[in-house]
Structure 1
Amino acid sequence: MRTHDDIEEEKAVGQVIDRLAARYPQLPYAHIGDVVRSELRVFDGRPIRTYVPVLVEHEARALLRRETSGHTAG
């Protein structure tokens, strides 16, 4: 059963995906979502989830930055 915290985390992760999609418009939205969800799985089973979306965003941004280095937007 999903808790209030689970729902809030899902919303926060969706916002992470949206922010990264705006930052990396040259990448497909679905790919950014896959990267974020992959980073999220690193935290599966961890009891303290408060900062998980922030940590996930940081790691996903680093991966996407490496993917797009040398590419120009637009």
Structure 2
Amino acid sequence: MAANDEDQQIKELVRRLTTKFPAVGAGTVADIVHDAHRSFDGRPVRDFIPLLVERMAARRLTTAPQ
């Protein structure tokens, strides 16, 4: 996966999760998504990174106090 494609998917993920978790706030959602995304820095296989980031971020957002 090209870096541009991955970056675009992460931006879309932030939009999607901001809509799904409106009580959390857009800035917090973005921080959580970007934190999860950074945890995959340096990994050579990038194809499933957006999916894994979405799962990690959604889990954190689901358990976050509202």
TM-score class, shorter-chain normalisation, is: over 0.9
Superposition CA RMSD, Å? 1.3
1:36 is the counterpart of 2:33: yes
> Which has the higher Rg, Structure 1 or Structure 2?
1
> Identity percentage over the alignment?
29
| Alignment of 1:10 onto 2:4 | no
The gaps in structure 1 that reach 5 residues or longer are: none
User: Which runs of 5 or more residues in structure 2 are unaligned?
Assistant: none
Q: How does 1:11-26 map to 2 (within 5 A)?
A: 11-26=8-23
TM-score w.r.t. length of structure 1? 0.84
- Aligned length, in residue pairs: 66
Supply the distance in 1 between the matched residues of 2:43 and 2:18 (Cα, whole angstroms). Answer: 27
